[in-house]
Amino acid sequence: MADEEKGKKKGAKKGGSAKNAPKKQESEQKAPVVVEESPVKIRYREQAIAQLMERFNYSNKMQVPGLEKVVVNMGVGEATGNSKAIDGAVTDLQAITGQAPNIRKARVSISNFKLRAGTPVGAAVTLRRARMWEFMDRLLTFAVPRIRDFRGLPRRGFDGRGNYTIGLKEQLIFPEIEFDKVDQMRGMNITFVTSAQTDEEGYELLSAIGVPFTREESA
């Protein structure tokens, strides 16, 4: 009987421990990550669309052109004599855009330039959607104003189909680039690819989202 009583007590104790054990807090709910929407994207949605509809008399919002992608391209001509030059370009581009670049290689050999087919000649990044808008924020807010003697971007960079390209002389205007780690100055081209049908539409679109063109050419 005594042994039976002990067994019951032990069983009760075991059962009680499971029953009375503090319940694990239901999966600690992590606060949802709030991703701030790009100010440039907000400006497009809340201001630019209305401005463009009024300016070009579009009948509905679907006709309003938008920014489709941004292509950042860095040429590395010196890579023909210095194989490590492409590494510096890739590092800089990744820091600037936050995306791994694609390496461009020469398609044909050119003996006068000592260029062999397959030699790396540049690196490029194509930005879309959220990364594109985030890059536009940093470009317009921090990088462009740091261009030496900046007085606005020239309008002549349009290609006839509403796309616009600017050429930058050095990567140091981007705050992501650390001066002490730069092996050499590198320029780049940045192309804004839009769904505009004409240069005028492309110009009005980019102006509306904050691209600072020169005053003389914006009149």
Residue 145: band (very low, low, confident or very high) from pLDDT cuts 50, 70, 90: very high
Q: 22 lies in a domain?
A: no
pLDDT for 99 beyond 70: yes
Q: 7 lies in a domain?
A: no
Q: 151 lies in a domain?
A: yes
Using CA of residue 77, residue 89, residue 147, residue 140, what is the dihedral sign? positive
Q: 5 lies in a domain?
A: no
Mean pLDDT, residues 135-158 taken together = 94
Q: 105 lies in a domain?
A: yes
Nearest to 64 by CA among 76, 56, 74, 72: 56
Q: 12 lies in a domain?
A: no
Q: 152 lies in a domain?
A: yes
Give the residue with greater pLDDT, 192 vs 22.
Answer: 192
Q: 103 lies in a domain?
A: yes
Q: What is the number of structural domains in the chain?
A: 1
Taking the alpha carbons at both ends of the chain, their separation in whole angstroms is 104
CB atoms within 10 A of CB 2: 6
pLDDT for 37 beyond 50: yes
CB-based contacts of 113, cutoff 8 Å, min separation 6: 80
CB atoms within 10 A of CB 132: 21
DSSP one-letter code for 205: H
Mean of pLDDT over the chain: 83
- In 3-state terms the chain splits into helix, strand, coil percentages (rounded to 5) of 45, 15, 35
Dihedral of CA atoms 89, 94, 97, 99 in degrees, nearest 10, equals 130
pTM over 0.85: no
CB-based contacts of 192, cutoff 8 Å, min separation 6: 67, 70, 163, 164, 165, 202, 206, 211
CA 206, CA 4: separation in Å to the nearest integer? 86
Q: Which domain holds residue 60?
A: 39-218
The residue type at 200 = E
Using CA of residue 175, residue 176, residue 180, residue 186, what is the dihedral sign? negative
The encoded tokens of residue 96 equal 């600037």
CATH number where 124 lies: 3.30.1440.10
pLDDT for 20 beyond 60: no
